[in-house]
Each structure stands twice: as structure tokens, then as C-alpha cells.
Structure 1
Amino acid sequence: MSARIFTAAASLLPLLAPTAASSYDLVKEYSGDSFFDGWSFYGNFDNLTNGDATFLSSDENKDAQLAYVDSSTSHAIIKVDNTTNVPFNEKRNTIRIASEDRYDIGSVFVADMYHVPYGCSVWPAWWSQAPDWPTGGEIDTFEGVNMVTMNQMALHTEEGCTQNSPSQSSTLVNSTDCNYQANENEGCVVTDPETQSYGEAFAKAGGGVWVTEFAETGISIWFYQRSDVPDAISSNSSSIDTSSLGTPVANWPTGGCDIDTYFEAQSLIFDITLCGDFAGADNVFAETCTGYCYEDYVVGDGSAYNNAYFDIASVRVYGASGTNVVVGGDSAAAPNAEWGLGSLLTAAGLLLGVAL
């Protein structure tokens, strides 16, 4: 997949009513010492987005310890190798994991994090996709590159899915066509205007929580910085009612994209790659970083990656009350699986967001 630089446009959208009320019950929790149970490690170089990175296998990670549970906090850490001296023409080790179970329409994913990866050349994401992408679609809840200050969210689908009349708080709409064949897989992208949704500001604010509702009525994403996390989420409740969460930051209603048609059960994915089609694109990289992506950051002693890590308190999955949303197997972690994480937002869009 080649990167395409596009100009992100901000659309002033009316704040409509929140999405339909729904009640969900806890079906799976990834946390504590057992956090990494039920995840598959990719175990291959980044043959998906041309990143200068090697994603370790589970066995390789046992020695490298780039994915582990911090004994002092019981939080899961997923990081880039920041201690190895990488010579020119070699890649740096990092992690990509995907849930072995998939979660169907009628799910809510709640990710509580205290730190997300950032830094020049760094391209992290928290997202999901169906195993036969682009069939079955993709949901990007968290994604950023280099030293940007705001998170972007997106869908990627087959032709026919668009964002139409969303009920959302963000007015920063980069694109509305979710078709992976349009604009070189740009996707339908919404940027969060909250500067504490990414990078150093996210960490200084104590992190935050993302809530992704994957429903027949549409797909919605909420973000709460630590001080604003509602009781319904911070209490680790066994159920959640999305009608209590207020207006989502981003929303893709079924009116523009029939969820039953374009989406199937999703594997949950964390990954951090380096440079590649997005973070390493010359114009994108130069907006927030100096020098050369690979030569000045990937190569060398690794100190550039001291902040390139996820610190995750938990991931909780809820299912619509009275339904079974868990689908076993078919993880999206296997090498050579399709990768839909290609939503490319430009610094022009980012700067526009800051200005607003």
C-alpha cells in the first residue's frame, strides 16, 4: 500500500442527538497477570505497511520482553525495543498482537490506557478488523504518527460505505468515503480536536479511556481524559449503557454505511510500527520531526523510543444484553494477513485542528 498525502478538510457538523441507547454486558476482560492470554503475536517483519520494524513472535518476546505485565502496576506494557543498537539496513523489534477471539456486531470495546506510544518515526494504533479484510471492515479507534497532538479515528470498508449525517462532537472530518479503494485507502477519517488524546499531553493528563460501540445502528467512538472518565466506566461495571456516555467524538451511522453489510466480527489489535507508508512519508514526517525517519531514528542506540510504549490498565469487551458476540479463532495476527490500517491524515489537517 502506498501512502497518499491528502488535504484534510474540517467540516462544521451539527451536533445531533446521541446514538440509540443500548445496554451491554461484560463478556471478556483483558487485565492484570492474564492480560496477554488470548492474543496472537504477529511474528514477522512489517510486510503490511512497509515499516522499518520486525514484530516479534510470542517465543521471541519471552527473551526480549517487549510485551509484559508490569509487576508494580499490573498494567500491560507493549513497547518498541529502545536498548538495541540497530545497524543500518536492519529493522528494529516491536510488537503487534491480535485477539484470538473476534467480537461481532453488538459489541462495545473499552480500552483504559495511561500512556500511548509517540515520538519521531513512531506509528501506533489500537484498532480492529475482520480476518478477510477488506471484507468485514476495519475500525480504527486510536492512531497517530510522529509528534502529532491529536488522535484520529477511521473506518475502512469495501465500496458503498460513507459517513453520512453523523451525531458527533468533533467538527474535524478529514474524509467521508470509507472505501479502501478510494484515495489509496484513506478511509473515512475523523480527528479528535482534544490535544490530550495523543502523545505527551495524553500521558501528562494521566491517560484516558476509549469506548468503541460496534452496533447495527452505527459505529461510535468516545474518548475521555482521566479526569473526565464517567463512573459507568471507571467503576469497572459488569454492564454499560452507551446512552449515558453523551455525544461520541466520532460516529458513523448506519444510514450512510449499513453495518450488517460492511462489517463482520472483529479481532482487536495493538501494534507499533516505525516509519512506513504513513509515519515515514516525507511530507508527513517533516511536519513534526527533523532529519530522516529511518536513518536518524530507527538506526542507532534506541533512545529515541523511550516514549514508544502502550501502558494499558485493561481492555474490556461488552456484548448486547442477551446475545453472544464472541466468535472463536481466525485471528488477524497471522503473517500476510491483509492490513487495512492505512488512513493517512496530513499535517495540514492536524494543524487545522489545532487552529480550531
Structure 2
Amino acid sequence: MVSSRYILLTLGLPALVRGTQYALIKEYAGTNFFDDWDFFGNIDNLTHGDATFVNASQAASDRLAFVNSAGNAIMKVDNTTVVPLNSKRDTVRITSKDLFGVGSVWIADMLHVPFGCSVWPAFWSSAPAWPTGGEIDTFEGVNMVLNAQMALHTDPGCTLVDPTQTSSRVTSTDCSVANQNLGCVVKNPDPNSYGAAFAAAGGGMFVTELASTGISCVVFRANIPSSLQKNSTIVDTSTFGVPVANYPAGGCNIDKFFQPQNLIFDITLCGDFAGNSEIFPQTCSGSCYNDFVIGPPRNYDNAYFEVRSVRVFGTSSAIEVEAVLNTGRNSTGTVGPSGNQTVRRRGTRMHWSVGH
């Protein structure tokens, strides 16, 4: 694993990174993938899901979070337990200990994402004092839809205006949580962006750029730029082409609405999105909780993330990178209170935006 401290000490060359280039500051990969994440360890009291997010020890003992023989991180829903009525099914939510601010890029290389009726997975980020400080949903899907989506959630005043992006499927332009917390949602037009088709196509690499000029989400499946291959320590986002989703600063002052972000993986079940009475019947039949969550685990063999790595890059000098990597450490170098406040309410999402 690349040490953030090591990068801070060795990025003392101001000319090394300019413009749209970023240098590696953090890597989550291999046998140490889970070392710098916090496990939620509680029921899903954030999005009303019928799920219990297990703690780290239970995740390890029950094989709900582990590194497989290929060196990839697995995060999954319990697919072995018969769950009784009025109980919840175990699953995983992890939050990065570090926070990454404006002037950073995070790249998640995924081979498989969770899917199935009742399943609601996401790879996203959030500031500790949500919704102040913003939320970026890089990847989100639900039930058996074909297309993943991206979104921002913010305080009032942030909108999606004049994006330069490949997707024309914009379902909401008001990012404010005051807008029923719909967020400003952009759907990935690629029918292989979610579910079984995503895995069959070999997965994908999700790139999120958080910059003062705007927030962009790119998904690579083939023709991956050379700067993202062979464990490069420098990336140049100008080589990435037009993003799938783009939120320019013209409609949303990024420096005002976005504070340093924790990265988050989670898989919940039913809840405000997957279990919504308007959403669930679009791709599934029956009752979300009664027919899927409880009883035999017949629906959850595909409800897992398989992640090769998550790599985070930051802008030019050591001083700038230290601002990007805001870990909440105090002057003694220990983790202070802000560094521990990594899990915050995600809010009630009225996601009536998945229809075809």
C-alpha cells in the first residue's frame, strides 16, 4: 500500500504536477485494502434499509469483507443465512478514514458490482457534516435496472448547468437536498453499466475528479488511458475524454458547496430507493422485504462488490496535497475528532428517477 505520509514527504517538487495532472497520494489495494476504512457496525438507520451493516470483526469472520485469492477486495450481502421475519440481513458499509478535498481524483477499478431485486449498492463520497460539504455519487444502481447513475447532493444553491458530458439522460438538475433530496442525477447511457452485463463486459474503472472548475465522472471499459495503467503515480485528466457526467462550476460553486470527502462503499437492501413503491415494481415483482430479504438467501449470490483497487490522486505540491488529504490530524499527528467523524446521515432519498 502507498503511504499517504510518504507521498506528503516526497512530493516536494512544485513543477512535478501542473494543470490537470495529479500525483498519487493514497492507494487501497491488495491484502491491506481494508486497513484504512471504518465499518459502520449498526443497522441501516440512514436510508431505512432492511440491512445491518456489520462491524469489522463480524465482516471478517462471516466473510462479508475479505481479499480473495486474486488480491481483490470483496464486499457482500450475507448469502448463506435464513433470515426470520422482523429481522434484517447482514451486509457491509465502509467509510475511508481519510478525507479528500477539492483538487483530487479518485479511481475505483471494479470487476463486479452488486445487483438483484432489493439490492441497492453505491460507491460515493460525503463530507462529515452532510449535507453541508456535499455528496458525490460516482456509482449507484438498484434492483435489476440496466443503467447505473451518478448524482450530487448539496445545500441549496447548486445546480447542473451547461454540462459537457456524453450522457443526455439528466433526470434532475437541482442538486439541493431541499428538492426532496433527488439530487442532480445523470444516468449512464451504457446498458452494460450495471448488473450482470457490467460483470460480463469485464467491469469498469470509475474516475471522479473533484476540481474547482467542476466535478466529472468518467467510466472506462476499454481504451483505458496509459496514465491509468501499470500503477502509474501520475494521472492527466485531459487525456480522459468527455466525461459521462459533468457538473461545471458555472452552476455550482465547487469551493463553496464541497468540503473534503470520505469515500464510501455500501450495499443496503430495500429502503428509500430499492424498496420505494414506485421504483421496485419497475424491474422486480412481489414484496421487497417479504419476498427477498427474509427467508432463504436465494437472491444474493450476485450482491457483492469485487474491487481491484481504489487510488486517490492530488494536485501539485506537498502543501497542496496536504490540503487535499484532510485527515483531521491535530498538531501531534494523532487523529483528532474531525478525523473520526466519518459516517454521517445520507438522508432520505426520494429516488424516483430510475424509470426507463
Bigger mean CA deviation after superposition, 287-296 or 324-333:
324-333
Structure 1 distance, partners of 2:98, 2:38, is 10
With normalisation by structure 2, the TM-score equals 0.89
Q: Are 1:236 and 2:234 an aligned pair?
A: no
The C-alpha deviation readout for 1:145-189, integer Å capped at 9, x for no partner, is 00000110000000100011111110000110000111x100000
Equivalence for 1:161: 158
Q: Secondary structure of the residue that 1:197 maps to in structure 2?
A: coil
- Residues 162, 178 of structure 1: 8 Å contact kept: yes
Q: Which of 123, 127, 131 is equivalent to 2:124?
A: 127
Q: Are 1:76 and 2:73 an aligned pair?
A: yes
Structure 1 distance, partners of 2:116, 2:59, is 22
Equivalence for 1:344: 351
Q: CA deviation at 1:331?
A: 4.9
Work out the number of aligned pairs and report it.
325
Alignment of 1:39-188 (within 5 A): 39-70=37-68, 72-182=69-179, 184-188=180-184
Equivalence for 2:215: 219
Q: Secondary structure of the residue that 1:277 maps to in structure 2?
A: helix
Q: CA deviation at 1:332?
A: 5.5
Q: Secondary structure of the residue that 1:243 maps to in structure 2?
A: helix
Q: Are 1:326 and 2:325 an aligned pair?
A: yes
Q: Secondary structure of the residue that 1:282 maps to in structure 2?
A: coil
- Residues 55, 93 of structure 1: 8 Å contact kept: yes
Q: CA deviation at 1:346?
A: 3.1
Q: CA deviation at 1:196?
A: 1.2
Equivalence for 2:268: 273
Q: CA deviation at 1:234?
A: 2.5
Q: Secondary structure of the residue that 2:279 maps to in structure 1?
A: helix
Q: CA deviation at 1:76?
A: 0.1
Q: Secondary structure of the residue that 1:180 maps to in structure 2?
A: coil
Q: Secondary structure of the residue that 1:304 maps to in structure 2?
A: coil
Q: Secondary structure of the residue that 2:35 maps to in structure 1?
A: coil
- Residues 116, 303 of structure 2: 8 Å contact kept: yes
Q: Secondary structure of the residue that 1:34 maps to in structure 2?
A: helix
Equivalence for 2:283: 288
Q: Any unmatched runs of 5+ in structure 2? A: 1-17, 329-338
Q: CA deviation at 1:333?
A: 4.5
With normalisation by structure 1, the TM-score equals 0.89
Structure 2 distance, partners of 1:224, 1:145, is 21
- Residues 272, 348 of structure 2: 8 Å contact kept: no
Q: Secondary structure of the residue that 1:283 maps to in structure 2?
A: coil
Identity of aligned residues (%): 54
Structure 1 distance, partners of 2:25, 2:176, is 31
Q: Secondary structure of the residue that 2:262 maps to in structure 1?
A: strand
Structure 1 distance, partners of 2:350, 2:313, is 26
Q: CA deviation at 1:343?
A: 6.2
- Residues 128, 140 of structure 1: 8 Å contact kept: yes
Q: CA deviation at 1:341?
A: 7.5
- Residues 146, 194 of structure 2: 8 Å contact kept: yes
Structure 2 counterpart of 1:185, which letter?
Answer: N
- Residues 174, 345 of structure 1: 8 Å contact kept: no
Equivalence for 2:15: none
Q: CA deviation at 1:114?
A: 0.2
Q: Which of 22, 25, 35 is equivalent to 1:37?
A: 35
Structure 1 distance, partners of 2:241, 2:352, is 26
- Residues 88, 299 of structure 1: 8 Å contact kept: yes
The C-alpha deviation readout for 1:278-303, integer Å capped at 9, x for no partner, is 00012211010111100010011212
Equivalence for 1:354: none
Q: Which of 289, 295, 300 is equivalent to 1:305?
A: 300
Q: CA deviation at 1:340?
A: 4.3
Distance of aligned partners of 1:106 and 1:47 in 2 relative to their CA distance in 1, 3 Å threshold: same
